């Protein structure tokens, strides 16, 4: 693997850095998991889109720059380095979009990608239900065929839907064949949340933000052209989305490299002399760089047309545990100051604690690694 950046890639980095240095809001924005903060974040994302930085690796026709995945990684590094706001459009651009590119019809791509890139339409993820989280195939939300109208009627409840109360659309799984074996008979739907019969009820998180929602469907009509992939093959389509979430796009290494740089700055400010603390900081830096190298290897595989598959579970366990470790080290350094309400380290730590839960819990990822990567027998 050649780890040197080409002249074009370096020029791309310089252009991105210059734009971000001039345009990133200096004071930061209110949390994107509040209604007010979400609106501010969308304004910022609109500015990104207008300058064609919102979705760099997408085709130009959809607002991108036709950038390679390597360039996308460079952009992500620069984005985090500049301290730019977290993307509230992430469930669309990082999770649904790769799935639309793989399974969507040309009509679906033309219909949804441009408005997703500009932030005019925003997407939330409808997997979890009150009785189906880790065991996603146990979902009871269903879709019943309406032959006459040419579509499906959806019913059921989704929960823990991140930013569901602020988004315009949901992608999710619904059971279309109740007689089929568990992982079959599921279909992936794209649901506009203003469709009659949809009720969205926001609720608060433990950190005080209102970011979650329950999304209820009561006989909601969805036409055939809002089915993504084949009917009854939704599990396969959903696994492509979760692969993006665990593996590559949701948490790019730039995020952790930037966190380690801030940790080093904090250690300098506080004059960290304890050798054990210094060791933890060094370990964090090593792990962030190891994750960067692992990501480069993943991109190499993808560029060669391979799919990382179950290995994305290794990645997810690694980045989520690294995030907790980096924030715990920072809290130790910041001491009582970290308890001040507006401390970014405290807020970051609270969110890092949820990393081992969302995108499939780390216990479940370890089961996947044991069975599908290491080939150990199922218990």
Ligand X SMILES: Cc1cc2nc3c(=O)[nH]c(=O)nc-3n(C[C@H](O)[C@H](O)[C@H](O)COP(=O)(O)OP(=O)(O)OC[C@H]3O[C@@H](n4cnc5c(N)ncnc54)[C@H](O)[C@@H]3O)c2cc1C
Which residues have CB under 8 Å from 181's CB, separation 6+?
Answer: none
Q: Which is nearer to ligand X, 167 or 263 (CB)?
A: 167
In this structure, the chain runs to a length of 379
From the CA atom positions of the chain, what is the Rg in Å? 21
Q: Is 78 an active-site residue?
A: no
Contact segment (CB under 6 A) with ligand X among 139-147, 179-187, 298-306, 352-360 equals 352-360
Secondary structure of residue 298 in the 3-state scheme = helix
Q: How far is the CB of 356 from ligand X (least distance, A)?
A: 8
**What is the size of the binding site for ligand X (CB under 6 A)?**
18
Contact segment (CB under 6 A) with ligand X among 270-278, 315-323, 324-332, 362-370 equals 362-370
Task: State the sign of the Cα–Cα–Cα–Cα dihedral 300, 304, 309, 311.
Answer: negative
Q: Are strands 227-228 and 186-192 parallel, antiparallel or unpaired?
A: antiparallel
Contact 151, 221 (CB under 8 A): yes
SS3 assignment for 262-297: HHHHHHHHHCCCCHHHHHHHHHHHHHHHHHHHHHHH
Q: How far is the CB of 128 from ligand X (least distance, A)?
A: 4
Q: Which helix (H) or strand (E) holds 235?
A: helix 234-246
Which of 86, 168, 350, 361 is close enough to bind ligand X by CB under 6 A? 361
Contact segment (CB under 6 A) with ligand X among 94-102, 147-155, 322-330, 359-367 equals 359-367
Give CA 357 to chain center in angstroms.
13
Binding of ligand X by 343 (CB under 6 A): no
Q: How far is the CB of 357 from ligand X (least distance, A)?
A: 4
Binding of ligand X by 47 (CB under 6 A): no
**Window 278-307: contact mask with ligand X (x via CB under 6 A):** ------------------------------
Q: Which residues inside 79-98 make contact with ligand X, applying CB under 6 A?
A: none
Q: Which is nearer to ligand X, 56 or 173 (CB)?
A: 173
**Window 157-176: contact mask with ligand X (x via CB under 6 A):** ---xxx--------------
Secondary structure of residue 29 in the 3-state scheme = coil
Q: How far is the CB of 156 from ligand X (least distance, A)?
A: 12
Quote the DSSP letter at residue 233: B
Among candidate residues 369, 279, 278, 282, the one with its CA nearest the CA of residue 318: 369
Structure tokens at 168: 């315009």
Q: How far is the CB of 203 from ligand X (least distance, A)?
A: 12
Q: Which is nearer to ligand X, 89 or 128 (CB)?
A: 128
Binding of ligand X by 364 (CB under 6 A): yes
Binding of ligand X by 360 (CB under 6 A): yes
Q: In whole angstroms, how far apart are CA 17 and each of 8, 23, 51, 91, 137?
A: 14, 10, 13, 24, 43
**Window 113-152: contact mask with ligand X (x via CB under 6 A):** -----------xxxxx----xx------------------
Binding of ligand X by 363 (CB under 6 A): yes
Which residues have CB under 8 Å from 102's CB, separation 6+?
Answer: 240
The residue with its CB nearest to ligand X is: 133
Q: Which is nearer to ligand X, 143 or 281 (CB)?
A: 143
Quote the DSSP letter at residue 91: I
Contact 64, 117 (CB under 8 A): yes
Q: Which is nearer to ligand X, 294 or 361 (CB)?
A: 361
Contact segment (CB under 6 A) with ligand X among 60-68, 73-81, 141-149, 155-163 equals 155-163
* Active-site residue identified among 76, 121, 245, 311: 245
Q: How far apart are CA 247 and CA 127, in angstroms?
A: 18
Q: Maximum distance among all alpha carbons in the chain?
A: 73
Catalytic residues: 245
Q: What are the residues binding ligand X (CB under 6 A)?
A: 124-128, 133-134, 160-162, 354, 357-358, 360-361, 363-364, 367
């Amino acid at each position: 693997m050649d780890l040197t950046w080409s002249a074009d890639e370096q020029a791309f980095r310089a252009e991105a850095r210059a734009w971000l240095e001039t345009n990133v809001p200096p004071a930061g924005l209110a949390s994107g998991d509040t209604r007010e903060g979400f609106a501010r974040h969308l304004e910022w994302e609109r500015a990104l889109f207008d300058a064609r930085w919102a979705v760099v690796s997408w085709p130009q026709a959809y607002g991108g720059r036709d950038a390679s995945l390597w360039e996308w990684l460079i952009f992500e590094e620069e984005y985090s380095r500049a301290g730019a706001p977290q993307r509230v459009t992430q469930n669309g651009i990082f999770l649904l979009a790769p799935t639309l590119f793989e399974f969507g019809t040309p009509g679906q791509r033309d219909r949804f990608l441009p408005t997703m890139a500009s932030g005019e339409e925003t997407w939330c993820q409808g997997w979890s239900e009150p009785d189906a989280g880790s065991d996603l195939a146990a979902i009871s939300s269903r879709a019943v065929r309406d032959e006459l109208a040419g579509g499906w009627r959806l019913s059921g409840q989704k929960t823990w839907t991140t930013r569901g109360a602020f988004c315009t659309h949901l992608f999710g799984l619904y059971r279309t064949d109740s007689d089929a074996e568990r992982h079959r008979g599921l279909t992936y739907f794209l649901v506009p949340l203003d469709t009659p019969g949809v009720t969205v009820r926001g609720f608060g998180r433990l950190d005080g933000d209102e970011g979650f929602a329950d999304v209820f469907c009561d006989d909601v009509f969805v036409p055939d052209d809002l089915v993504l992939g084949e009917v009854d093959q939704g599990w396969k389509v959903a696994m492509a989305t979760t692969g993006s979430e665990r593996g590559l796009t949701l948490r790019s290494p730039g995020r952790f490299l930037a966190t380690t740089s801030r940790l080093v700055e904090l250690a300098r400010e506080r004059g960290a002399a304890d050798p054990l603390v210094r060791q933890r900081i060094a370990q964090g830096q090593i792990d962030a760089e190891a994750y960067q190298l692992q990501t480069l290897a993943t991109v190499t595989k993808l560029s060669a047309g391979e799919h990382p598959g179950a290995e994305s579970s290794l990645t997810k366990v690694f980045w989520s545990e690294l995030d907790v470790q980096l924030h715990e080290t920072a809290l130790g350094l910041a001491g009582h100051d970290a308890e001040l309400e507006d401390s970014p380290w405290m807020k970051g730590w609270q969110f890092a604690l949820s990393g081992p839960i969302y995108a499939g819990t780390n216990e479940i990822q370890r089961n996947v690694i044991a069975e599908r990567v290491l080939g150990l027998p199922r218990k």
